[in-house]
Structure 1
Amino acid sequence: MEFRYLGNSGLKVSEISYGNWVTHGSQVEADQATACVRAALEAGITTFDTADVYANGKAETILGDALAGERRESLEIFTKVFFPTGPKGPNDTGLSRKHIAESINASLKRLRTDYVDLYQAHRYDHETPLEETMQAFADVVRAGKALYIGVSEWTPDQLRAGHALAADLGVQLISNQPKYNALYRIIEAEVVPTSRELGISQVVFSPIDQGILTGKYKPGQPAPEGSRATDTAGGGANFIKGSLKDEVLTRVQQLAPLAEAEGLSMAQLAVAWVLQNDNVASAITGGSRPEQVHDNAAAAGKKLSAETLQGIDDALGDVVEADGAQVGQASPTARLT
């Protein structure tokens, strides 16, 4: 495993991190989830990412149980706050002082830890003054409940404003967590340059685009049994259905010889691709089976040749989404309940 600094801080994180969005508490049972966490630890992964909204708290609980007994100082545990949790009352969502203060306490209890290394605003809250949000985050840090703060899917202007307020309050905003992969590159135009300027790293999710970049989804064919696209009960199918387009799947199949030439699986090629961007501190990978976790982790430290990088661009062509204007659209304009 290789390690990188997270933003302009002294905190190092594993290049490959393990995340449990969709899987823990929904797609896979607790025993299998624990086996995947053990596989991550065996592979040298020290960074674990979750959120209170994942399975309405169950994902945090499962992760906390799975990491129990590990040396806390040897781990970096990340979680997030924003989306509706609990009974989903009027204050069970957003980035108000009330919701942040209550959510961090609930997350720490579920994770079985006294602090998280990184506490992240899961989206931008258009209905709470940013000053209130950043003051609440600063108080969480001063109380020792989080060491650093981060955000997810924020625009360049939001990053600048949040970073400035954090600096005034004496706390470090060091990360942004966006979706980023070879098919989805909207952060490259403005988010990455802005982040470099501010000393913010990307901790990216969906580096294999929920399995699409593994090549297992074939154009014109049914989704493989047990894949995310067939997970109707746990909700995985809803997240991926919009991306299962034959023109995209056809292009992805052209990546197979490039992966073979590099001595990598297609999943490893996809994860290695995001790590070629030096503003990416870590790529969040998941897995419903331990072997998937090990396969993803093997992408750490891989340097792709210029010919391979160009080959990926040529293969994917015009199915790549790179419109920077889409950044921030994942943040609801009205508070969810």
Structure 2
Amino acid sequence: MQVSIACTDHNLKRGNGDHSKQSATSPNVVNQARAKFRTVAIIARSFGSFTPRHISLKESTGKHTGMKYRNLGKSGLRVSCLGLGTWVTFGGQITDEVAEQLMTIAYESGVNLFDTAEVYAGGRAEIILGNIIKKKCWRRSSLVITTKLYWGGKAETERGLSRKHIIEGLKGSLQRMQLEYVDVVFANRPDSNTPMEEIVRAMTYVINQGMAMYWGTSRWTAMEIMEAYSVARQFNLIPPVCEQAEYHLFQREKVEVQLPELYHKIGVGAMTWSPLACGIITGKYENGIPESSRASMKSYQWLKEKIVSEDGRKQQAKLKELNHIAEKLGCTLPQLAVAWCLRNEGVSSVLLGTSNPEQLTENLGAIQVLPKMTSHVVSEIDHILGNRPYSKKDYRS
């Protein structure tokens, strides 16, 4: 805050000029006024500027589990840096009993973030998630539950991001999970058929109604996220706090270039998924497509084609080199890959998707590998991958 002495003197003279000629002939009055405002200016300068201070969002570590917690974007919501996703697995690949085992292992390891969606297994994933939470009697306040809306049903009104589907879809999700609210509701993809103002107003409504605490986006472009933020600011609505994005060794640009700019400008964080590239990074596809793998499923023909392509074979060759780094660090390749994602400070949480307890326990071990991700190790990985994206800042330097 700054006080202009020149303007003050001008106002004093203008205010006193016609009213009292004594002030013009009495230098003591003017001098006293000047001294008074100089004192005010000195005090104001001592307090410094009233510009917003930099927010320091510190990472913390669980005392008993070693799990690390970060803020979701620049919101106050603290999420475990590793979360458990339910895509494909819950209600699909695994039994309800295995799903309970996975959630129990995750929760006891310090994971508080559990992610699902209305479309997963046709709503079955949400039902299983809710049943487990109820059965385990976990405190609702200790959990961060997120779900995603877009594909809700076959009817035209049962999909998309219209006000109707956002409200009805979230009510349906809450009923399936037997919950009063979710912590974050995500728009599972952009909707070109619905005006952005309608989307933001509907998300603001469900938050104000207590059905959700925050809202976020998934698979949105930086421009679409910025548009949502601008609409929220224009109409005094609630902006998104997070983007869910794919992020792994072979998919980097959005999370490493686009989202950091949004984080610093408007506070949108990153919750990432598929850290093992749908299992590609585990090395399970090195010698073909195993029968029980995700790529063997009919609905994942695209993954099979990706694995057997020329690019897929090149990726397998790079994974062999990366495996040498993992061996030097005393960890597995999946642990290295997950720790590599976590080393990015812009990532609030990495969602894990596993089909058995052994895989989950292994992936959770990435927390212990994180301190070993030195700049030298990261440079080695970048050299092998050869796909590091460059931001405007890199070009300027």
Query: Scaled by the length of structure 2, what TM-score is found?
Result: 0.76
Note if 1:48 corresponds to 2:114.
yes
Note if 1:194 corresponds to 2:257.
no
Contact 1:19 1:284 in 2 (8 A): yes
Q: Which consecutive unaligned segments of at least 5 residues does structure 1 have?
A: 325-337
1:316 counterpart residue number: 385
CA distance in 1, matches of 2:126, 2:388: 32
Note if 1:216 corresponds to 2:284.
yes
Letter in 2 for 1:298: G
Helix, strand or coil for the counterpart of 1:217?
coil
1:156 counterpart residue number: 222
Distance 1:56 1:322, change over 3 A: farther
Which of 260, 264, 283 is the aligned partner of 2:327? 260
Letter in 2 for 1:310: S
Helix, strand or coil for the counterpart of 2:145?
strand
Contact 1:180 1:204 in 2 (8 A): yes
Distance 1:238 1:29, change over 3 A: farther
Which of 281, 284, 293 is the aligned partner of 1:227? 293
Q: Residue 126 of structure 1: CA displacement?
A: 0.6
Contact 2:181 2:212 in 1 (8 A): yes
CA distance in 2, matches of 1:241, 1:284: 22
CA distance in 1, matches of 2:349, 2:182: 17
Aligned pairs for 1:161-310 (under 5 A) are 161-167=227-233, 168-187=235-254, 188-218=256-286, 221-232=287-298, 235=299, 237-238=300-301, 240-244=303-307, 245-300=312-367, 302-303=370-371, 304-310=373-379
Contact 1:79 1:120 in 2 (8 A): yes
Contact 1:47 1:76 in 2 (8 A): yes
CA distance in 2, matches of 1:192, 1:22: 29
Q: Residue 289 of structure 1: CA displacement?
A: 0.3
Query: 111-120 vs 302-311, which deviates more?
Result: 302-311
Q: Residue 321 of structure 1: CA displacement?
A: 8.5
CA distance in 2, matches of 1:199, 1:55: 32
Helix, strand or coil for the counterpart of 2:366?
coil
Contact 1:60 1:110 in 2 (8 A): yes
Distance 1:323 1:309, change over 3 A: closer
Amino-acid identity (%): 37
CA distance in 2, matches of 1:322, 1:210: 21
Q: Which consecutive unaligned segments of at least 5 residues does structure 2 have?
A: 1-66, 392-397
Figure out how many residues of one structure are paired with residues of the other and give that number: 315
Aligned pairs for 1:96-107 (under 5 A) are 96-107=162-173
Note the alpha carbon deviations across 1:229-249, whole angstroms, 9 max, x for none: 2233xx3x3352243121111
CA distance in 1, matches of 2:74, 2:239: 9
2:185 counterpart residue number: 119
1:16 counterpart residue number: 82
CA distance in 2, matches of 1:239, 1:38: 32
Q: Residue 162 of structure 1: CA displacement?
A: 0.8
1:334 counterpart residue number: none
Helix, strand or coil for the counterpart of 1:216?
coil
Q: Residue 307 of structure 1: CA displacement?
A: 1.9
CA RMSD of aligned residues (A): 1.8
Distance 1:276 1:321, change over 3 A: closer
Distance 1:34 1:238, change over 3 A: farther
Note the alpha carbon deviations across 1:42-100, whole angstroms, 9 max, x for none: 221110011101111011111111221211000000001012x23x1111111000111
CA distance in 2, matches of 1:27, 1:160: 37
1:137 counterpart residue number: 203
Helix, strand or coil for the counterpart of 1:132?
helix
CA distance in 2, matches of 1:77, 1:64: 10
Q: Residue 323 of structure 1: CA displacement?
A: 9.7
CA distance in 1, matches of 2:271, 2:204: 21
2:13 counterpart residue number: none
Contact 1:196 1:279 in 2 (8 A): no
CA distance in 2, matches of 1:306, 1:186: 19
Helix, strand or coil for the counterpart of 2:147?
strand
Q: Residue 179 of structure 1: CA displacement?
A: 0.5
Which structure shows the higher helix fraction?
Answer: 2
Helix, strand or coil for the counterpart of 1:310?
helix
CA distance in 2, matches of 1:71, 1:80: 22
Contact 2:113 2:144 in 1 (8 A): yes
Distance 1:144 1:279, change over 3 A: same
Of structures 1 and 2, the larger Rg is shown by 2
1:72 counterpart residue number: 140
Q: Residue 322 of structure 1: CA displacement?
A: 5.2
Letter in 1 for 2:157: N
Contact 2:259 2:269 in 1 (8 A): no
CA distance in 2, matches of 1:5, 1:21: 23
